[in-house]
A and B are shown apart, each in its own frame.
Chain A
Amino acid sequence: MSQVAEASSSPTPSEPASELADPSSYDGLALRKLAKHFGAFQAVRELDLDVPRGSFFALLGPSGCGKTTTLRMVAGLETPSAGSITLAGNDITFAKPYQRPVNTVFQSYALFPHLDIYENVAFGLRRRKQRDVDAQVREMLALVELESQARKKPAQLSGGQQQRVALARALINSPEVLLLDEPLGALDLKLRRSMQIELKRIQTDVGRTFIHVTHDQEEAMTMADTVAVMNGGVIEQMGAPTELYENPRSTFVANFLGQSNLIEGQVTSRSSDLVTVDMHGIPVSVPTGRAHTPGDRGWVGIRPEKVLIGDEGEQLDAPGNTIPGGVVSDVSFVGVSTQYLVRMPWGQELQVFSQNTGRHRLFAVGDKVELSWRPEYAFLLDAAQDASAGAQKMDSDG
């Protein structure tokens, strides 16, 4: 039955090994088969990862997915159980933290309470007996706009200021790789937004490799040029934010980054450019490059904002996939858009985000509607995966 029987049906697809660089000649950070277990618990399993030099790289995942453990192994604060870490061609797997050109901005900042801001920032330079400490510290304090606070103790600063001290303290050492462990987690939303922009600006200015660990998908997508989504100790998918969002390869990524409608379907035919799926009796098509299931069953995925909603029989601008027979079951008007829940004939409720462009009337609960979407926006995922994996809240299609 299955045309690609040799393909793995593992629920955790990872990048093929052939795409990985040769660590000994790679100028970035390369993790190879990196693993860490605490007793019987596998925090990180056989992680393969290339972080290009100068990139802003985000490790994104829910708490307990192994992202912080990975970061700590790169920092040297945790000893890997297996595998290797190579930085600019040098194997640093077992180098001590104080021997590697890597610095960390800790989640709790971990500023030294007995030292003032100036001495906190100067700490790394002094330990390495650097010259012109004063000039460098002043320059760094200027970069994070804290010159006037130099002689204060950390406890006298606000959360946002402490965060900038932690950043300056790490950055002044010009590390090959700067590790950021949820550095914005403790800040309120407004401050977090401005710090995101600030961090991105500083990264562009200094041109260093930043690895940012976060569970906030919006933060990862707005700041990073490459995002690796981690789950259960492995990397589910890695790529540019738009690529991850538009073409997720697993239900976890589809749900963890934004929201997705996942509808069960049966593959009826595969051609070189289109896969046709029978979705509860309605034929829909998905581009072959966006079909990530080896079997003949799968989840048809579509982002809520890609779904168009219209009256029954209305011609919508989405040739190919039209699904009739919906009934609006919930409407929430949020100003810039309207969010609908539409109950389909097979009982599932689909989410639809409709921009309030004014070109279409608002629908009310009970209205009969038709949904449609352009085939190039749909994706097809492995039916073996849990449709609710990675969802932030209980989806109606459970």
Chain B
Amino acid sequence: MASAAGAAPLAATDPDETGRRRGRTGYLLLLPAALWLGIFFVVPFYSLIATSLFDPSGSDAKGYDMTYHVANYWTALKHYGKPESWTNLGPLLRSLWYGAIATGLCLVLGYVLAYAIAFKAGRWKNLMLVLVIAPFFTSFLVRTLSWKLILADDGFVVNTLQAVHLLGSDGRLLATPVAVVAGLTYNFLPFMVLPLFASIDKIDHRLIEAASDLYANPVKGFFRVTWPLSLPGVVSGTLLTFIPAVGDYINVRLLGSPNQKMIGTVIQQQFTEAHNYPIGGALSVTLMALIVVMVLVYVRRAGTEELL
């Protein structure tokens, strides 16, 4: 009955048969992605959780014993999760903090840009969208390395800032939080702009006219109509920016210094340099759990549950 309701006028085929076939097609279409995720996400994820519970006495060479050593998490958090002081937050909180600042900057820059492309660009709309994506034609590493040149100690930016005394004569940008956040903002901006554009572009211009007809000046009209209608883009844009920004370690490696060490750097070092797999695993799982919780709270607060 339920399956027949959707398959209306094809009287020749048995409605039940049609429904069953449609269900089977649906599963078949899901299969490739499900397999992919199964092999490359579910299995590694399980293995990561297992790793995080291995006994710390093991090593790369000797192998690890599974002892459900939950204390790995306390060890990891004690070393990397605890803020040292107000100025030194420790890798975990610092990552969240840098990620939040970069996301905020991306939101401001990206919203203005997406709004301009959607409403003001006219026939240049497509060209401008291509320009937003254009940086992806070169590698992430190359793009970040060029920021190293831009922010270099004897570079144009530093010289100019020193000339106007915004920066002391021995001041620098490289190896400072400014450089790291700038790199994060730059690298993740397109992930903010594109969902924002998709949302803003869909807004019916007549709604803004209607708001203006109903005594809303442009500022009120923006906050009462344009902004709420663009919220789905804001939510997906901030998620697409915040999540990778928090876990990023390339920007710190190339533009920062050990003082700006982020959690991604630590995890990478635990696995590839310290060969401390259980701690690396515990940090990875902690980061993932933290992000999932934050995203859930955020999406609920933004009132756009339909995104999940």
Selecting from A102-110, A239-247, A254-262, the interface stretch reads A102-110
Q: Is the CB of A110 within 8 A of B215?
A: no
Q: Is the CB of A127 within 8 A of B210?
A: no
Selecting from B32-40, B138-146, B158-166, B201-209, the interface stretch reads B201-209
Q: What are the residues of chain A within 8 A of B67 when measuring CB–CB? A: none
Q: What are the residues of chain B within 8 A of A75 when measuring CB–CB? A: 213
Q: What are the residues of chain B within 8 A of A77 when measuring CB–CB? A: 209, 212-213
Interface centre among A76, A104, A110, A111 (most CB of B within 10 A): A110
Tell which of A102, A104, A114, A173 touches B210, judged by Cβ atoms closer than 8 Å: A104
Tell which of A76, A98, A110 touches B217, judged by Cβ atoms closer than 8 Å: A98
Answer whether residue B211 sits at the interface, using C-beta atoms and an 8 A cutoff: yes
Q: Is the CB of A127 within 8 A of B207?
A: no
Residues A123 and B214 in contact in the complex (CB < 8 Å), given A108-B206, A110-B204, A114-B229: yes
- Docked complex Cα distance between A169 and B207 (Å): 13
Answer whether residue A96 sits at the interface, using C-beta atoms and an 8 A cutoff: yes
Instruction: Give B206's nearest chain A residue, CB to CB.
Output: A110
Tell which of A98, A106, A108 touches B215, judged by Cβ atoms closer than 8 Å: A98
Residues A110 and B212 in contact in the complex (CB < 8 Å), given A96-B217, A98-B217, A127-B220: no
Instruction: Give A103's nearest chain B residue, CB to CB.
Output: B213
Q: Is the CB of A112 within 8 A of B213?
A: no
Instruction: Give B228's nearest chain A residue, CB to CB.
Output: A114
Q: Is the CB of A98 within 8 A of B229?
A: no
In chain B between 224 and 253, which residues have their CB closer than 8 angstroms to a CB of chain A?
224-225, 228-229
Residues A103 and B229 in contact in the complex (CB < 8 Å), given A77-B209, A110-B206, A110-B207: no
Q: What are the residues of chain A within 8 A of B206 when measuring CB–CB? A: 106, 108, 110
Answer whether residue B49 sits at the interface, using C-beta atoms and an 8 A cutoff: no
- Docked complex Cα distance between A76 and B213 (Å): 8
Instruction: Return the CB mask of A66-107 against B: 1 if under 8 Å, else 0.
Output: 000000000111000000000000000000111000111010
Q: Is the CB of A97 within 8 A of B212?
A: yes
Residues A110 and B210 in contact in the complex (CB < 8 Å), given A124-B215, A127-B215, A128-B215: yes
- Distance (whole angstroms) from the CB of B38 to the closest CB of chain A: 38
Q: What are the residues of chain A within 8 A of B217 when measuring CB–CB? A: 96, 98
Q: What are the residues of chain A within 8 A of B228 when measuring CB–CB? A: 114
Answer whether residue A113 sits at the interface, using C-beta atoms and an 8 A cutoff: yes
- Docked complex Cα distance between A235 and B306 (Å): 51
- Docked complex Cα distance between A147 and B33 (Å): 49
Q: What are the residues of chain B within 8 A of A76 when measuring CB–CB? A: 212-213
- Distance (whole angstroms) from the CB of B66 to the closest CB of chain A: 51
Instruction: Return the CB mask of A141-184 against B: 1 if under 8 Å, else 0.
Output: 00000000000000000000000000001100100000000000
Q: Is the CB of B204 within 8 A of A98?
A: no
Answer whether residue B7 sits at the interface, using C-beta atoms and an 8 A cutoff: no
- Docked complex Cα distance between A127 and B217 (Å): 9
- Docked complex Cα distance between A251 and B157 (Å): 73
- Docked complex Cα distance between A77 and B214 (Å): 12
Q: What are the residues of chain B within 8 A of A114 when measuring CB–CB? A: 228-229
Q: What are the residues of chain A within 8 A of B207 when measuring CB–CB? A: 110, 112-113
Q: Is the CB of A112 within 8 A of B225?
A: yes
Answer whether residue B216 sits at the interface, using C-beta atoms and an 8 A cutoff: yes
Interface centre among A98, A102, A173 (most CB of B within 10 A): A98
Q: Is the CB of A173 within 8 A of B212?
A: no
- Docked complex Cα distance between A123 and B214 (Å): 7
- Docked complex Cα distance between A274 and B216 (Å): 58
Interface centre among B207, B210, B229 (most CB of A within 10 A): B210
- Docked complex Cα distance between A124 and B206 (Å): 16
- Distance (whole angstroms) from the CB of A87 to the closest CB of chain B: 15
Residues A98 and B210 in contact in the complex (CB < 8 Å), given A110-B204, A114-B229: no
Tell which of B210, B212, B220, B224 touches A96, judged by Cβ atoms closer than 8 Å: B212
- Distance (whole angstroms) from the CB of B212 to the closest CB of chain A: 4
Q: What are the residues of chain A within 8 A of B210 when measuring CB–CB? A: 104, 106, 110-112
- Docked complex Cα distance between A97 and B212 (Å): 6
Q: Is the CB of B211 within 8 A of A123?
A: yes
- Docked complex Cα distance between A77 and B209 (Å): 7
Instruction: Give B203's nearest chain A residue, CB to CB.
Output: A113
In chain B between 145 and 190, which residues have their CB closer than 8 angstroms to a CB of chain A?
none
Interface centre among B215, B216, B229 (most CB of A within 10 A): B215
Interface centre among B211, B212, B213 (most CB of A within 10 A): B213
Residues A169 and B209 in contact in the complex (CB < 8 Å), given A110-B204, A113-B229, A114-B228: no
Q: What are the residues of chain B within 8 A of A112 when measuring CB–CB? A: 207, 210-211, 225
- Docked complex Cα distance between A111 and B211 (Å): 9
Q: What are the residues of chain B within 8 A of A104 when measuring CB–CB? A: 210, 213
- Docked complex Cα distance between A170 and B229 (Å): 21
Instruction: Return the CB mask of A129-143 against B: 1 if under 8 Å, else 0.
Output: 000000000000000
Q: What are the residues of chain B within 8 A of A103 when measuring CB–CB? A: 213-214
Residues A98 and B212 in contact in the complex (CB < 8 Å), given A110-B207, A112-B207: yes
- Distance (whole angstroms) from the CB of A292 to the closest CB of chain B: 39
- Docked complex Cα distance between A110 and B215 (Å): 15
- Docked complex Cα distance between A50 and B213 (Å): 22
- Docked complex Cα distance between A97 and B218 (Å): 10
- Distance (whole angstroms) from the CB of B233 to the closest CB of chain A: 13
Interface centre among A75, A111, A127, A170 (most CB of B within 10 A): A127
Instruction: Give A119's nearest chain B residue, CB to CB.
Output: B224
- Interchain residue pairs A-B with the least CB separation, the first 10: A110-B210, A124-B214, A127-B215, A110-B206, A97-B212, A98-B215, A114-B228, A127-B216, A104-B213, A123-B214
Contact surface of A with B, Cβ cutoff 8 Å: 75-77, 96-98, 102-104, 106, 108, 110-114, 123-124, 127-128, 169-170, 173
9 A-B pairs with C-beta separation under 8 A? A97-B209, A98-B216, A102-B213, A103-B214, A110-B204, A112-B210, A112-B225, A123-B214, A127-B224
